[in-house]
Amino acid sequence: MTTKDRLLSHLKREKGNWVSGEYLSGKMGISRSAVWKQVSRLREAGYGIQSSPKKGYLLAELPEVLLPAEIDETLGTRVFGRKEIIYSSEIDSTNMRARSLALQGAPEGTLVVAEKQTMGRGRLGRSWFSPFQTGIYASLILRPRLVPNEAPKITLLAGVSAAETLLAVASLDAGIKWPNDILVHGKKIAGILTETSMEMDAIQHVVVGLGLNVNQRSFPGHLKGSATSLFMETGRPFERVVLLREFLRQFERCYDTFSRVGFEPIRKRWRELAVLLGKEVTVRMMDRTFEGRAMELDRDGALIVKDRDGQSQRIYSGDIRIH
Ligand code: BTN
């Protein structure tokens, strides 16, 4: 823990109360002017700290930021977000940064977060609306011991974890549209972009990017009608850090279950959360588009769609529209 983080945890313990400079310097074994220097750094990072020559320091306000020290506190995971957390106030894309870190050897559990993305990416070449401090834009590096054709399962684990997060934190009845759209009342609240790097017959790394709409009050024209946020669904703001911690916790739990006992328990939960099984759909793939009925998620994580000729088609990647 850095000196700044140690000071912050003392102030947090006494949040709303005055703590003298003398007490802090004694507890931390640093001079009072060093305490003052760290207070200045915390203020620069957005912490509302009052000071008084007689009373000392008082932490009045926590910033609405996804700072590593905030995420780390009470995180409750073993690996996810426990290695390094790379934080930027603005970035092109957290997935792109995570990918280059992974290629340089960053370990499993490394997390990249940003307050804003200028080139947030979605699936199928789309962009992801990523305004400053309103949503969660985070990417996690994983190094699963899987053969390449098992990689799509990781997306499904992340989807289940995102839906569970919304249920746990906001009691929102979230559903999953295959493979990775998280919907509330038919509108998209979160998406997952999984990018895998393979070599020969093994996965080198997987980057799992989560975009979650949290405190957006509205969306630009092209997203109006199809996107929603936690604020728009509940009428109240949410602390993004609480949601991010819960997602990491849920995701690590799913990932552990998957490594220990396999995909079956995840598949079961995914089916309970799925919004399209049994529905008429249009499937758009790279090379063709067809209509049919979404039937099942199979044991490999593929979606089974019965086409108009009664043939079962296995879909591993593509876009689905529900009729
Ligand atoms: C989708 O539904 O199309 C997937 C959206 C994924 C968006 C997230 S935001 C954090 C991470 N970085 C990116 O550039 N994209 C993902």
Three-state secondary structure call for residue 58: strand
pLDDT band at 148 (very low <50, low <70, confident <90, very high): confident
Give the chain's largest Cα–Cα span: 82
What is the rounded CA–CA span in Å between residue 7 and residue 69?
Answer: 11
Mutate to test the pocket of ligand 1, among 137, 188, 214 (most ligand atoms within 8 A of CB): 137
What's the whole-number mean pLDDT along residues 256-269?
Answer: 95
pLDDT in tens, 188-202: 999 999 999 998 788
Secondary structure of residue 278 in the 3-state scheme: coil
**Rounded distance between C-alpha atoms, residue 214 and residue 225, angstroms:** 16
**Per-residue confidence (pLDDT) for residue 65, from 0 to 100:** 82
List, for residues 40-75, the tens digit of each pLDDT value.
998 887 788 999 999 999 998 777 788 888 888 788
Residue 207 has pLDDT above 90, yes or no: yes
In ligand 1, the atom with minimum distance to the C-alpha of 94 is: 12
Mean pLDDT of the chain: 93
**Residue 68 · residue 248 · CB < 8 Å:** no
Q: Which atom of ligand 1 is nearest to the CA of 130?
A: 9
Cis before residue 179, ω within 30 degrees of 0?
A: yes
Higher-pLDDT residue of 98 and 146 is 98
Higher pLDDT, 180 or 183: 183
The yes-or-no verdict on residue 147 having pLDDT over 80 is yes
d(CA 217, CA 171): 19
Measured distance CA(166)–CA(190) in Å, rounded: 10
pLDDT digits (tens, 9 = 90+) for 282-306: 999 988 999 999 999 999 889 999 9
| Mean pLDDT value across residues 134-151 | 94
- Reported pTM: 0.86
* 166 touches 189 (CB < 8 A): yes
Please provide the size of the chain in residues: 323
Nearest CA to ligand 1 atom 15: 121
On the question of pLDDT at 260 being above 80, the answer is: yes
The average pLDDT across 154-173 equals 96
Residue 135 CB contacts under 8 Å (≥ 6 apart), including other chains: 129, 211, 212, 213, 214, 215, 216, 229, 240
Query: Could you give the angle at which helices 21-28 and 32-44 cross, rounded to 10 degrees?
Result: 100
Expressed in angstroms and rounded, the spacing between residue 229 Cα and the centre of ligand 1 is 15
